[in-house]
Structure 1
Amino acid sequence: MEMNASYTSFVAVGDSFTEGMSDLLPDGSYRGWADLLAARFAARSPGFRYANLAVRGKLIGQIVEEQVPVAAAMTPDVVTLVGGLNDTLRPKCDMGRVRGLLEEAVERLAPSCRQLVLMRSPGRDGPVMERVRPRMEELFSFVDELAERHGALVVDLYAAPVLGDQRMWDVDRLHLTAEGHRRVAEAVWQTLGLAARDDWRAELPSAVPARWLTRRSGDLRFARQHLAPWVMRRLTGRSTGDGRLPKRPELLPYEPPGPGTAGQDAGPDAGPARRALS
């Protein structure tokens, strides 16, 4: 890893985590850690190019088929690959197949870029996490093996307790808040050997415990608005990403958000970050 290295292009590959859900912008689009990272790269490298091929709901097989060949053909300086977690959430998950497909992706991407970045993704504390934790940890152990074999970097978000804090997660309990995405961008930035802006692992202030009724109301709202639709999609074989195209399918010079999203991008001179305190 080169300290204070200069990178001129970046391609992000993956699912909703990399697409940027639930870091919502005023125009209804999603920003997310990859966009934040690209903005910081662009601030120090004029003409910096960025593509984000990630699409919500994608399984590792779809990522390998639809995104990996495109990213490899772009031959960028940096590629980030995060995939397989959607597979681990399925009741019938063939971890051997997941590992094989992830290995195929890494073998294709590592030679095509200057630096491949893999991740041990964060997980929200709670009962769902406990059910899938063994599969996640199996996946992450394999990520470490692949990184060692292919010279990739690993961003260990899973080991950061703050990213398991419920306040870092949106009401759907599946996607990070804006503050969570900001911290992921900082973690990737530092892993690439670039100068730290702050401590992305810093704990949040102590929270005031919510009332029992407030917690139950939140559980019911989550079940109605997010859990039930998710279960229905699993039963019908549908995905939120069906028919959806990547938000940045071409490797083009990075441009900041338009007037409708002014002030939302976190460049190097941005003000204090919003904190997830509620």
Structure 2
Amino acid sequence: MTRYRSFVALGDSFTEGLNDPGADGRFRGWADRVAERLAVLEPGFRYANLAVRGKLIDQIVADQVPEAVGMRPDLISFCAGGNDLLRPGSDPDRMAKKVAAAVRDLRATGADVLMFTGVDPRDTPIMRRARGKFATYYLHLRSIADLCGCRMVDMWSMQGLRDWRAWSDDRLHMNEDGHRMVAARVLDVLGVPGDEDWRKVWPPRERVNLSAKSREDAQWLREHFGPWIGRRLRGTSSGDDVMAKRPELTVFDEQAGDPRQL
């Protein structure tokens, strides 16, 4: 088993931890959960999370990648592209070229690099129309991981994430259950023993009332999708005024869930 002494997480809302609330009022998420486990195994373990919701590939590459390179941790997670793919006219081939250059820079530090495919969007009414574009991008990421010697976390194959019980009301961000599953998958990919299995099997659901389902869809359009479209039209992002929750590589206190600066 590889022993990691430091971990830096890069990305957007997925890595920031939306919508998995922690006891301290900040979002927790899969990356914090992985850090907690690694801290148990390695005294003095250090952790930084530079991810900010709403960020695009260009922003992550320009702002977060150089920070991670300078920190020179043992382990770096890099997940980007979800927000780009949701925008009209996005090109998965061009996106992949940007990711490849960033990953090469991260690997040049000697760190192990974690990469991620996204979840299969076939069960999402709007995003499933662009399923081919998503699949093309994720295949590029697998190729980059193979060529650069990265560890790949394949969420496309995680059937438990296809159940809406793993997602929050906005249908874009995982809830606590979803983040727990991803954390378990990451630990499995790293070869680190954990307490949970990512192969979650949900109990059968009651038959859905079509009238209630229509009301839920209308509420989602009004409360979540509508505001998201509005931000796109205004050229704003949910992360415009948000700072990284753990911007420094600090010693992680696994009991308190907070880092302590060196």
TM bucket by the smaller chain? over 0.9
- Residue among 102, 109, 114 paired with 1:112: 109
Is contact 2:40-2:254 (8 Å) kept? no
Letter in 1 for 2:138: F
Is contact 2:12-2:51 (8 Å) kept? yes
Q: Given the alignment of the two structures, is residue 62 of structure 1 paired with residue 59 of structure 2, yes or no?
A: yes
Q: CA RMSD in A?
A: 1.7
- Within 5 A, what are the aligned runs for 1:73-84? 73-84=70-81
SS at match of 1:112: coil
Across the two proteins, how many residue pairs are aligned to each other? 257
Runs of 4+ in 1 over 4 A off after TM superposition: none
Identity %, equivalent residues? 41
Is contact 2:54-2:238 (8 Å) kept? yes
> In the alignment, which residue of structure 1 is the partner of 2:36?
39
d(CA) in 2 for partners of 1:31, 1:257: 14
> In the alignment, which residue of structure 2 is the partner of 1:220?
218
Q: Given the alignment of the two structures, is residue 99 of structure 1 paired with residue 78 of structure 2, yes or no?
A: no
TM-score by length of 1: 0.88
Deviation of the 1:243 alpha carbon: 2.7
> In the alignment, which residue of structure 1 is the partner of 2:236?
238
d(CA) in 2 for partners of 1:57, 1:51: 19
d(CA) in 2 for partners of 1:173, 1:72: 33
Deviation of the 1:197 alpha carbon: 2.8
CA deviation profile, 1:62-118 (whole Å, cap 9, x unmatched): 000010010111111110110011111101213232112111111111121431110
d(CA) in 2 for partners of 1:230, 1:30: 20
Letter in 1 for 2:49: N
> In the alignment, which residue of structure 1 is the partner of 2:199?
201
- Within 5 A, what are the aligned runs for 1:163-202? 163-202=161-200
d(CA) in 1 for partners of 2:24, 2:219: 25
d(CA) in 2 for partners of 1:211, 1:190: 38
Is contact 1:81-1:117 (8 Å) kept? yes
Distance 1:24 1:196, change over 3 A: closer
d(CA) in 2 for partners of 1:132, 1:38: 33
SS at match of 2:141: helix
> In the alignment, which residue of structure 1 is the partner of 2:9?
12
Letter in 2 for 1:184: V
Distance 1:215 1:241, change over 3 A: same
Distance 1:43 1:114, change over 3 A: same
